Amino acid sequence: MKPEAGLSHLRKGRHSKNGQIYHCIFSTLNRQPIFNQFDSARGFISLLREDENRGLSKTYAFVVMPDHIHWLFQLEQGDLSATIKRIKSLYSKQSKSKVWNKGFYDHGIRAHEDLISTARYIVANPLRAGLVDKIGDYPHWDSIFFEG
């Protein structure tokens, strides 16, 4: 199977709707742990904040794991695929290297309860992965719902 062939199921049924809240997950090329480096993780986080400041998205929660990103956000302008492509491209340019695996996973959030439980799931990733003993000890996450 070609590497791209397995990604078509990720796009099936994907649609973009401004105002919709999405949980997106995307990973580094070959799952390399490039975000183990503090400056790399903080550089990526600055791009998420810049995207929000430009009115393109509204971030509800994120975590930058060593080899992947979870981002819970409301799409404010544009297309979902183009938004993820833009964020990935900006980080690749910033790091001057090829960083990302192709594609991404997305899930549209349907209810307020789903929003809170999804945010909890996202910020608990470092804990479940055994990277820290307390969520607040992990430096590369944020949520409008919780404090460390």
> Do residues 129 and 106 make contact, with C-beta atoms less than 8 angstroms apart?
no
> Do residues 122 and 143 make contact, with C-beta atoms less than 8 angstroms apart?
yes
The domain in which residue 90 lies consists of 17-143
| Count of domains forming the chain | 1
Residue 11 lies in a domain: no
**Residue 14's pLDDT is what?**
63
**Residue 110's pLDDT is what?**
87
CATH code of the domain in which 63 resides: 3.30.70.1290
**Residue 114's pLDDT is what?**
87
pLDDT in tens, the chain (148 residues): 334 444 444 455 567 889 899 999 999 999 999 999 999 999 999 999 999 999 999 999 999 999 999 999 999 999 999 999 999 999 999 999 999 999 999 999 988 778 999 999 999 999 999 999 999 999 999 999 865 5
CA distance 7 to 26: 12
Residue 91 lies in a domain: yes
> Do residues 100 and 24 make contact, with C-beta atoms less than 8 angstroms apart?
no
Residue 104: CB partners within 8 Å, gap ≥ 6?
10, 24, 25, 26, 84
